[in-house]
């Protein structure tokens, strides 16, 4: 059995979005000839709320090694909260010890956070182990260029400095990588455009898929839904996930479409309940709302509720399975691919999706479902989301006027293709390839 060391600072019971990448892939690698060891951070060093329900989904026979990180209470005094930076020393020491005392055939490092990627070149030099760099999000993206931590989500000195440092570090790591995996093909094509010659490095698109067993668990043991009653006669449309700065225009277009519905079909508008969950991507209370202020500005706040803190994973699945429809929204970035797409498909509920036409989501969704199960509105660089308000409003009216109560049929071939087990097989193929680089 070949062996792979998988470095992922975020891992259950941490509730960050990055915790799911390795959680989904690692348990299925054995079926494809690879024995995984997950290296992550001690749960005492996570900053946010822990989710024991998510931790319970990790198989007991999956080997997980944890290291300590600098205490966030200490590093925050210096303005540092990044888990990858806080844990870099602990990850370096523990990975070095594992590679020195055990045999590993490959090293897999996933980002975000990005700083642990720096371990790849040094561990490769010291131990001769080939490594795969995995992109859940771009390392050098819009942060610090068009968006940042400044007022109104604009770049500030810190976000610009972060981007400048990333632009110096990324090419050094990429030169040493034996292969690159990413959640979408467009993500690594952007790297090709930025670094000529990189196309000679093997690349593979491995989206963040779904795990059918997670939904089986929810259906066997339903959880309480404290946010809405699916049997109250209203139409509950739910969005679960962070609202990103570059997705603000898409959100505005959707809410403007809701306003059109109120003007044209007030009786349907009266039945609509639009819920947003986990919009602030934080597990601690106090995050500023992102959807409600815009809804108030557009005069539709009476139909909108927002929970800014990230809700626990099984609670999120409960919301998806009990929603009358699931709202999916994209970003102005062409590479954007939603980690929430495959859980939404597995929830077997109608979908209203608004995405850039170049996003991998659009092609997958067209293959997976057809109207009225999936209603897709696309926009582009020439015709941005704001120009598609009329089309979105038509789809909302259809959704409210002709609700779908029975479970939605999804193309089983698409579900199999994007299941965690299938995607683990794709990763195993990449690991087989780099193993020859030893």
Residue 237, domain CATH: 3.40.50.2000
Residues 352 and 309 both lie in one domain: yes
What mean pLDDT do residues 210-230 have?
91
Q: Is the pLDDT of residue 332 over 60?
A: yes
Candidate from 73-82, 245-254, 319-328 with smallest mean pLDDT: 73-82
What CA dihedral angle connects 137, 138, 139 and 141, to 10 degrees?
A: -130
pTM beyond cutoff 0.85: yes
Instruction: Give the model confidence (pLDDT) of 173-217 as tens digits.
Output: 999 999 999 998 888 999 999 999 999 999 999 998 889 999 999
* Both structure tokens of 268: 């349907």
Instruction: Give the model confidence (pLDDT) of 389-402 as tens digits.
Output: 999 999 999 999 98
**Gap between the Cα atoms of 108 and 121, Å rounded:** 12
Residues 192 and 256 both lie in one domain: no
Task: Provide the domain count of the chain.
Answer: 2
**Gap between the Cα atoms of 68 and 209, Å rounded:** 29
Asked whether residue 290 is assigned to any structural domain, the reply reads: yes
Asked whether residue 147 is assigned to any structural domain, the reply reads: no
SS3 193: helix
Q: Is the pLDDT of residue 236 over 80?
A: yes
Give the neighbor-by-neighbor strand order of the sheet with 351-356: 304-309, 272-282, 235-240, 325-329, 351-356, 374-379
Residues 85 and 98 both lie in one domain: yes
Residues 187 and 42 both lie in one domain: yes
Residues 427 and 385 both lie in one domain: no
Q: Is the pLDDT of residue 225 over 80?
A: yes
* Segments forming the whole domain that contains residue 326: 212-416
Residues 411 and 426 both lie in one domain: no
Residues 225 and 185 both lie in one domain: no
* Both structure tokens of 195: 């670094």
**Gap between the Cα atoms of 61 and 7, Å rounded:** 18
Q: Percentage helix, strand, coil, to 5, in the chain?
A: 45, 20, 35
Asked whether residue 155 is assigned to any structural domain, the reply reads: no
Q: What angle do CA 256, 150, 76 make, to 5 degrees?
A: 125
Residues 126 and 26 both lie in one domain: yes
**Gap between the Cα atoms of 211 and 111, Å rounded:** 21
What mean pLDDT do residues 231-257 have?
92
Asked whether residue 56 is assigned to any structural domain, the reply reads: yes
Residues 221 and 279 both lie in one domain: yes
**Gap between the Cα atoms of 90 and 107, Å rounded:** 17
Residues 205 and 248 both lie in one domain: no
Asked whether residue 359 is assigned to any structural domain, the reply reads: yes
- In this structure, how many other beta carbons lie within 10 angstroms of the beta carbon of residue 168? 10
Asked whether residue 319 is assigned to any structural domain, the reply reads: yes
> Is the omega angle on the peptide bond into residue 53 within 30 degrees of 0, that is, cis?
no
155 and 147 in contact (C-beta within 8 Å)?
yes
Q: What angle do CA 305, 364, 320 make, to 5 degrees?
A: 30
Compute φ and ψ for 62, nearest 5 degrees: -85, 125
435 and 34 in contact (C-beta within 8 Å)?
no
Q: Is the pLDDT of residue 326 over 90?
A: yes
**Gap between the Cα atoms of 12 and 40, Å rounded:** 9
Residues 425 and 338 both lie in one domain: no
Asked whether residue 73 is assigned to any structural domain, the reply reads: yes
DSSP category for residue 241: S
Q: Among 156, 157, 34, which Cα is nearest to 432's? A: 34
Per the prediction, the chain carries an average pLDDT of: 91
Q: Among 318, 324, 323, 346, which Cα is nearest to 404's? A: 324
Residues 343 and 429 both lie in one domain: no
Asked whether residue 376 is assigned to any structural domain, the reply reads: yes
What mean pLDDT do residues 375-385 have?
91
């Amino acid at each position: 059995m070949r062996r792979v060391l998988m470095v992922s600072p975020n891992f259950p019971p941490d509730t960050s979005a990055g915790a799911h990448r390795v959680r989904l892939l690692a348990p299925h690698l054995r079926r494809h000839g690879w024995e995984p060891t997950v290296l992550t951070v001690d749960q005492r060093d996570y900053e946010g709320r822990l989710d024991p329900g998510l931790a319970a989904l990790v198989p007991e026979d999956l080997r997980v090694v944890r290291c300590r990180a600098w205490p966030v209470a200490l590093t925050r005094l210096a303005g540092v909260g990044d888990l990858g930076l806080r844990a870099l020393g602990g990850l370096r020491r523990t990975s070095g010890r594992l590679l020195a005392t055990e045999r590993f055939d490959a090293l897999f490092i996933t980002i975000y956070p990005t700083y642990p990627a720096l371990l790849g070149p040094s561990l490769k030099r010291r131990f001769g182990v080939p490594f795969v760099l995995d992109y859940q999000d771009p390392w050098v993206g819009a942060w610090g260029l068009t968006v940042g931590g400044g007022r109104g989500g604009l770049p500030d000195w810190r976000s610009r400095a972060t981007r400048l440092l990333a632009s110096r570090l990324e090419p050094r790591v990429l030169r040493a990588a034996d292969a690159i995996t990413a959640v979408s093909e467009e993500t690594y094509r952007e790297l090709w455009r930025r670094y000529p010659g990189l196309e000679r490095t093997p690349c593979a698109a491995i989206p963040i898929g779904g795990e059918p067993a997670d939904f089986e668990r929810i259906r066997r043991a339903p959880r309480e839904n404290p946010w809405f009653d699916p049997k109250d006669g209203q139409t509950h449309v739910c969005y679960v996930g962070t609202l990103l700065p570059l997705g603000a225009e898409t959100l505005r277009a959707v809410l403007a479409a809701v306003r059109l519905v109120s003007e044209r079909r007030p009786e349907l508008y009266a039945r609509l309940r639009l819920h947003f969950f986990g919009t602030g991507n934080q597990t601690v209370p106090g995050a500023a709302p992102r959807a409600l202020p815009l809804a108030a500005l557009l005069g539709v706040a009476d139909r909108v509720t927002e929970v800014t803190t990230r809700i626990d994973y099984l609670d999120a699945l409960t919301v998806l399975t009990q929603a009358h429809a699931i709202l999916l929204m994209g970003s102005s970035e062409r590479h954007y691919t939603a980690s929430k797409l495959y859980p939404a498909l597995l929830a077997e509920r109608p979908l209203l999706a608004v995405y850039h036409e170049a996003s991998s989501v659009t092609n997958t969704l067209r293959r997976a479902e057809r109207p009225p199960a999936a209603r897709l509105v696309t926009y582009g660089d020439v015709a941005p989301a704001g120009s598609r308000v009329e089309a979105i409003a038509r789809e909302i009216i259809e959704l409210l006027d002709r609700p779908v109560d029975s479970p939605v049929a999804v193309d089983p071939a698409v579900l199999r293709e994007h299941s965690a087990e299938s995607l683990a097989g794709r990763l195993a193929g990449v690991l087989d390839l780099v193993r020859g680089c030893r």
